[in-house]
Every structure is written in structure tokens, then in C-alpha cells.
Copies of this chain bind each other. A is one copy, B any other.
């Protein structure tokens, strides 16, 4: 049986991909053109296939994916319900911000994962084109109507805040996960001295992404 923290990390990633799939597919319904609908559909299908790949790895490591995902079902569902996007642009911003923070987080903690798991995580969080797609559409919407920027900047700040708040709740109930940072596995030289260091690094990257859209973080 593997390190329970690794199973936790794969469990939250698997469920995260499953809800990302639902979210992207739902955004596809509001796509302004059939071409956009097709592009989002492709990304949603990719997210589902990622979910399957992570599930398969959980099984290989001797755990049950449904059990591994269970602790994260409520906080992630809560996050998505609280941050329900009200239109097409908010949906794209949510995907861009959420995927960005998720990828940064797993990049930061990948040193704690075995090589094979780290490679899978890297592949799953690789570019499926959603960031560029979101940036293009959001920038063009702001160019058409500058008022859009204020509303989206606010939504971006709420997204980051809500993600940190749900992640803290999760960390409090998963001691193995929180303990990774305090007691890294033998042989791992970790450069994260605390969860707050991690959060500030993620915040810096989030601001950089919002800047790329011309939005105040």
C-alpha cells in the first residue's frame, strides 16, 4: 500500500478532473458558435480521459478510486456550486484560473511523488489548449467592451479566495496530506517549508495569469 498522502493527492486530482469535465461540457452548452462548442467538447473529453488515467494509477497503487476521491467530493462540489459561472466568459475564466492553480500546486508538490506517478500527473496537467482558448476569448471580449474587465477581475479574485479556503478545510481533515510538508518522505529535499509558503507562491502565479488577461488580481 502506498503513502496515504499520495493516494490523497491522486484522489483529489481524479475528482478534480471529473468535475472539470462536467464544468467544461456545461460551458460548451453556452458556446457562442458551433466551432467553440466543438473545441470545448474536445477539452471536456480530454479531462474525462485524464480522470480515467488517474483512476487507473490509484488502482495500480492498491487503492480504490471511489474511496480515494470520497474526502474531496464535498469540498470540490461546494467550490463549484459557490463559484457557479453565470455566463460563457466566467466559465472560461474559471477554467483558466482553476487549471492554472491546480497545475502550479502539483508542480510544487511533484517532488513528493514517485517517478511514475509524477510523470502521469505531469501528463494529465499538460496543456489541452484551454488556457490559450480562454485568454483569446476573454481578451477579445474585453476589447469589445471594457466594462467586462471589472466584473471578471472580481470573479478571478473570488475564485482564488474560495480555492484557498476550500483547500485549507481539506488540509485540516487530511493529516497525511498536510504532513507532507512538515515531514517529507525520506530522501526528498523539499524547498517548501510550510503551507503558507506554498500559498504565497501560488498567489504570485495566479497574479501573473490575471495580468496576462489585463485583469487586476
Residues on A facing B (Cβ under 8 Å): 15, 18, 21-22, 25-26, 28-29, 34-35, 37-38, 41-42, 44-45, 48-49, 51-52, 55, 66, 69-70, 73
Max chain B C-beta neighbours (<10 A), residue from A15, A25, A66, A69: A25
Q: Pull 9 A–B residue pairs with CB atoms less than 8 Å apart, ordered by A.
A: A18-B41, A21-B28, A22-B25, A22-B28, A25-B26, A26-B26, A34-B69, A38-B51, A41-B51
Q: Is the CB of A37 within 8 A of B25?
A: no
Cβ contacts under 8 Å, A35 to chain B: 66
**Given the interface contacts A26-B29, A29-B26, does A18 sit within 8 Å of B37 by beta carbon?**
yes
Cβ contacts under 8 Å, A18 to chain B: 34, 37-38, 41
Give the distance in Å from the alpha carbon of A74 to the alpha carbon of B206 in the complex: 39
Cβ contacts under 8 Å, A51 to chain B: 38, 41
Cβ contacts under 8 Å, A55 to chain B: 38
Contacts A22-B28, A22-B29, A41-B51 known; 18 new A-B pairs at CB < 8 A: A21-B25, A21-B41, A21-B45, A22-B25, A22-B26, A22-B37, A22-B41, A25-B26, A26-B29, A34-B69, A34-B70, A38-B51, A38-B55, A42-B52, A44-B44, A44-B45, A45-B45, A45-B49
Residue of B nearest to A28 (CB): B22
